[in-house]
Amino acid sequence: MTPAMTALLTLCAAIIAVLALRRFFGFSAQRPIDYSAQTPRFDLRSNLAGPIECEGVIYGPTGRVTSRFVAKMHGTWEGNRGVLREHFTYDSGSEQLREWRLTIGADGRIIAEADDVVGAGTGEVSGPTVFLNYSIKLPASAGGHVLAVQDWMYLTQNGTIINRSQFRKFGFKVAELVATLRPAAATAPMLEAAE
The pLDDT of residue 192: 44
Ranges of the chain with pLDDT below 70: 12-27, 29, 186-195
The pLDDT of residue 187: 47
Distance separating alpha carbons of residues 178 and 151, to the nearest angstrom: 10
The pLDDT of residue 20: 54
Say what the pTM is.
Answer: 0.80
Total count of residues recorded for the chain: 195
SS3 labels along the chain: CCHHHHHHHHHHHHHHHHHHHHHHCCHHHCCHHHHCCCCCCCCHHHHCCEEEEEEEEEECCCCCEEEEEEEEEEEEEECCEEEEEEEEEECCCCEEEEEEEEEECCCCEEEEECCCEEEEEEEEEECCEEEEEEEEECCHHHCCCEEEEEEEEEECCCCCEEEEEEEEECCEEEEEEEEEEEEHHHHHHHHHHHC
The pLDDT of residue 136: 96
pLDDT digits over 145-161, tens only?
999 999 999 999 999 99
The pLDDT of residue 108: 81
